[in-house]
Amino acid sequence: MKIYKLTKTIIKSFLISQLMLGALYAQVESYTIDDAIKVAIQNNRSIKISMMEVEKADKAVDEAFGYALPTLDLSANYSRLLQKPKTVFPDFESLLKAASYGVLFDEGLLPYDETKIPTVGSKLQSFAQTNNFDASLELTQILFNSAVFRGIGASQIYLDLSREQLKEQVSATVLDVKKAFYGAVLARDMKEITEASLANAEENLKNVEALNKQGLASDYEYLQVRVQVENIRPKVKQLQNLYEDAKNGLKVLLGLDVNKDIYPEGTITFEPVFTGDVESVVDEALIGNPTLKVLNKKRQVDEEFIAIDRSEYWPTLAAFGKYSYAGSSDDFNFNTYNSATVGLSLSINLFKGGRVSSKVQQSKIALKQTDQQVNNYKDYLQTQITSKIRELRKVEAEISALEENIKLAEKAYDISETRYKEGTGTQLEIKNSDLELRAARTNRLESVHRYIIASSELNNLLGRLDDSYMKFIIIENK
């Protein structure tokens, strides 16, 4: 008996330790909406790609400046002739011999003899030496090149474009996180509302069961309440699964391990955010909308491309200086020499088969396409803003009515319970009032959730982005 008790104690202690260990590893980590946004910005792959694009554009600016700076080139070469090249050249030996005899004959030192004067012809001769080397140092400075100077401005605009694209990506990420976060909060709150309804039904079941045992409630009423409880229980399970799915979606967006348990620490609270008329809000969007900013910067880039293509019509003027050192020999005992040169180089294209004109026309068409995109997006923006404002106003009116409806439903439920306890009411009244109370709470919760999401979408359209998010992403990626 003692062994049995000891064994039972050991097993019990082991199970308790395992439960405590499991609880330690299964700690739930809470995230506020700001925490979730910062984690998502830090882990979001699209934002990381946009940050790399900014860094690449920044290096492109340095590259563009580099074309305006002087270039210094050093080159060296050594060669050994395995077979010397030859060329046809006058026969200097015959020419010298003929000249010498001619002088002697003219001075009368020798009697004239035509046979002694050789015929002067030509033969293959080599003037190259076996070993040759040369080294040169050349400095070049662009004095005028339209493409170089326009390229510096274009690279800076492209850098600004990449920064606006980064802000656009951060703004889109913030909106996605808000939707996922408040979607999880909505699922959690709806689960809790249904759990509260189940608790009410179970409490009511206990009361009816007690009354049934005393003969004060019929078996039919007791079965009715049991059916009500069992009908609510699957809905609780369904909402629990929905809540877990919503949390998993949020974890994926935050870049967290799916097996990690998190808790969205927030509430769906109604806070009116919209003030002002539609016209002023549209004007704000035309200035601050991130996508529109990107399109406007792209338009500036297109304009710079037109100017760069046109620059091929303009001449290029450059200054240069060159120093050379060379030598040659047959036996590595080099005879060396050096030289230095300075000058100006001017080049201008006269004809390229119409290619420059065609490039300019293509760039102009690209600019027109961007203009159409800008105009189309402005129309879309105005339509979306008007729609969101209309939705916010509608939901505001709904929420006021739903809050009053919840108070009435709560009062009706209390009355139905009291009437049943006093014997003047029925279980049907309790069941109906419970359904109405649950529906009223759920409807208000869904309406407030819609209001939060619509206001977040409106803020995204207006370009209202918390500067701290951008500072965070810049600091984290340095």
Residue 274 pLDDT grade (very low, low, confident, very high; cuts 50, 70, 90): low
User: What share of the chain has pLDDT > 90, as a percent?
Assistant: 35
Write down the residue that tokens 């009223």 correspond to. Answer: 440
The DSSP symbol for 126 reads: -
Looking at the predicted structure, is the pLDDT value of residue 217 above 50? yes
Answer yes or no: is pLDDT of 110 > 50.
yes
Q: What mean pLDDT is predicted for residues 442-470?
A: 88
Return the pLDDT at 442: 84
Beta-bridge mates of residue 227: none
The pLDDT of 172-181, averaged and rounded, is: 93
Residue 100 — left, alpha, or beta (φ > 0 → left; ψ -120 to 50 → alpha)?
alpha
* pLDDT value at residue 275: 64
What is the β-pairing status of strands 262-264 and 29-31? Answer: parallel
pLDDT at position 278? 84
In the chain, where does the domain assigned CATH 1.20.1600.10 lie?
30-70+145-314+351-476
Identify the CATH number of the domain defined by range 30-70+145-314+351-476: 1.20.1600.10
Lowest pLDDT segment from 117-121, 189-193, 244-248, 437-441: 117-121
- Work out whether the CA dihedral 252, 258, 264, 265 comes out positive or negative: negative
**In this predicted structure, what is the pLDDT of residue 371?**
94
pLDDT band (50, 70, 90) for residue 376:
very high
- pLDDT range class, residue 326, cuts 50, 70, 90: very high
Predicted confidence (pLDDT) at residue 10 exceeds the cutoff of 80: no
Which two three-digit tokens encode residue 122? 């030509």
Give the tokens for residue 70: 């002087």
pLDDT higher than 60, residue 168:
yes
Intra-chain end-to-end CA distance of the chain, in Å? 69
Would you tell me the crossing angle of helices 33-43 and 146-213 to the nearest 10 degrees?
140
Output the pLDDT for position 367: 93
Among 89-103, 198-212, 279-293, where is mean pLDDT lowest? 89-103
71: left (phi over 0), alpha (psi -120 to 50) or beta: beta
pLDDT of amino acid 474: 54
Contacts of 376 (CB under 8 A, 6+ apart): none
